[in-house]
Amino acid sequence: MSVVVELTIFPLDKGASLSPYVARALNVIRASGLPHTLGPMGTCIEGEWDEVMAVVTACFEELRKDCTRINVGLRADWRAGAGGRLAAKPASVLDKLDGPGGQG
Amino acid sequence: MSVVVELTIFPLDKGASLSPYVARALNVIRASGLPHTLGPMGTCIEGEWDEVMAVVTACFEELRKDCTRINVGLRADWRAGAGGRLAAKPASVLDKLDGPGGQG
Amino acid sequence: MSVVVELTIFPLDKGASLSPYVARALNVIRASGLPHTLGPMGTCIEGEWDEVMAVVTACFEELRKDCTRINVGLRADWRAGAGGRLAAKPASVLDKLDGPGGQG
Amino acid sequence: MSVVVELTIFPLDKGASLSPYVARALNVIRASGLPHTLGPMGTCIEGEWDEVMAVVTACFEELRKDCTRINVGLRADWRAGAGGRLAAKPASVLDKLDGPGGQG
């Protein structure tokens, strides 16, 4: 009954150096205690729908403190059934690769 | 102080005919009374952050009734200042086009 | 055999006023002659995969002339069968709405 | 002068078990030799714009062999300057976290 959400959030009014703002959002995510993984293009968070969406809103509120334009991207994959999908989803793909596994 | 959110939501366990499910989500959006526009790849909704996100969750709950895997995509553009951006955003682009305006 | 692609493209190094850059991309799209519709959060383009992707690259090349960081978002829905889906996709949803149709 | 692209591609006409199709796309990505990382919600690929977009098209062509409806999502972050950003982007965020680093 878990959802995996990939979240991308950054201001559009602060120039091209976005990592300080992404770090502030990641601090909020870490404080939530929900399982998450940081990637090159976003952070994946797993939990129940309501708890993950509450974290998304908390990230937005954090940036709203001092930003005047904020871009948010969210992609969610909800599936009835067990959790643990941050690890299980990539593993299920790697199992099916041709030849020896690995991510290159 | 409004956010414009483009929402895409559909099940992954019901085959390739998605419009009945998109229509159910759009019914939920219409019932909210928030301004919205239906496009070829999603529906844009405008309002305060909390009210738009409540509609997103209501769409999800509607599909969760009978779907076992649901894909959600959301892109949000929040900007301090006036609302009315569902119309103002495209108009601002059209104003700046080369030659006679129009969307082709 | 057509694909509908929603394209969002803007620079991250030019501040929060993005419409001049979106207009330059839209000029490129218009010059392609492909059917397209401008929405609040992106422009939908319809055509064969290769011709639509060539337009996406042309939009990128246009902004690369003077931007040092560019964000691109693209969502594509490809379906074997007839074209005309920029209009047919929303119409198929509206047909299935409860009560009198309309986009609010 | 590199772009980092996160790619999500899956069929909509094959039911809710998507990993065999994701694995076929990942085989194509691996064969390209471009640096990439597989995540829970997509695969990030780094390279020059044209070479990454050629891989995206090759993934699409692979699934088109036997799928009648295909969903593609792509988010790209292009930046003038050095490559190596699949690792550098998350590292730059982790450097700025409050307290001891780590991805939880």
With a cut of 80, say whether residue C25 has pLDDT above it: yes
CB distance from B74 to chain D under 8 Å? no
Interatomic CA distance for residues A88 and C33, integer angstroms = 44
Q: What is the pLDDT of residue B98?
A: 87
Decide which of B100 and A29 is more confident. Answer: A29
Mean pLDDT over residues A27-43, rounded?
Answer: 97
Interatomic CA distance for residues B89 and B94, integer angstroms = 9
- One-letter amino acid at A49 equals W
Interatomic CA distance for residues D59 and D9, integer angstroms = 8
Q: Cα–chain-centroid distance for residue A45?
A: 5
CB distance from B68 to chain D under 8 Å? yes
Q: What is the pLDDT of residue D62?
A: 98
In chain A, the residue whose alpha carbon lies closest to the alpha carbon of D87 is A40
The answer to whether the complex's ipTM is over 0.90 is yes
Contact yes or no for B41 and C94 at CB 8 A: no
CB distance from C76 to chain D under 8 Å? yes
* pLDDT tens track for A44-74: 999 999 999 999 999 999 999 999 999 999 9
* pLDDT tens track for B19-77: 999 999 999 999 999 999 999 999 999 999 999 999 999 999 999 999 999 999 999 99
Interatomic CA distance for residues B2 and B45, integer angstroms = 10
Contact yes or no for A74 and B78 at CB 8 A: no
Q: Cα–chain-centroid distance for residue B55?
A: 10
How would you classify residue A41: left for phi > 0, otherwise alpha for psi between -120 and 50, otherwise beta? alpha
Give residue limits of the domains in chain D.
Answer: 2-94
Which residue carries 């999908």 as its tokens?
A85
Mean pLDDT over residues A23-52, rounded?
Answer: 97
Size of interface B-D (CB pairs under 8 A): 18
Contact yes or no for B49 and A68 at CB 8 A: no
Which residue carries 């091209």 as its tokens?
A16
Q: Distance, in angstroms, between C56 CA and closest chain A CA?
A: 20
Nearest to C68 among A16, A18, A71 (CB): A16
Q: Distance, in angstroms, between D75 CA and closest chain A CA?
A: 8
CATH of region B2-94: 3.30.70.930
CB A62 within 8 A of CB A28: yes
Q: What is the pLDDT of residue D22?
A: 97
Cβ-proximal residues to B102 (8 Å cutoff; 6+ apart), any chain:
B94
Pairing of strands D36-39, D42-47: antiparallel
Interatomic CA distance for residues A101 and B3, integer angstroms = 43
Task: Give percent above pLDDT 90 in chain A.
Answer: 86
